[in-house]
Homo-oligomer: A and B are copies of this chain.
Amino acid sequence: MKKAPNITDAEWEVMKLIWNNNPSTSEQIISALSPKMGWSAQTIKTLINRLLKKGIIDFEKEGRIYKYYPLILKEDYIRTENRSFLEKVYDGALSMLVSNFLEEESLSENEIEKIQKILEKKKNENQDNKK
């Protein structure tokens, strides 16, 4: 299988925009990112074009204007990012990763409980698989 095209940090900002507002016009992307990122309109156009060339987004003409839409799911791409981060930094040791993050950052009651529920569920699943 061919390696998935890479999304760079700068391109990632554009993708977040497009995923959240699908489809987006370049005007929308530029007016959202230009102030936030301090990028010129030209820079953003370049990023959009690179995403097109990489086959990560596509567009549909709406008169003179293009509507850009993603060709890949955010969830899918994040899954890949997760995997490679886990591999690169933790050599695949998930529990290391999780404890590390938990210990360094703070969480609300609610969030803690949400995670606890997930863990309970996983415990049960493990149990089931054992039988």
Interface on A for B, CB 8 Å cutoff? Answer: 9, 12, 78-79, 81-82, 85-86, 88-89, 94-95, 97-109, 111-112, 114-116, 118-119, 122-123, 126
Contact = CB atoms under 8 A, between A and B. Distances in A.
Contacts of A97: 101
Main SS class of interface, A? helix
A119 B98 CA distance: 11
How many of these chains are in the complex? Answer: 2
A127 B115 CA distance: 17
11 contacts: A78-B89, A94-B107, A94-B111, A98-B101, A99-B114, A99-B115, A102-B115, A102-B119, A102-B122, A112-B123, A119-B119
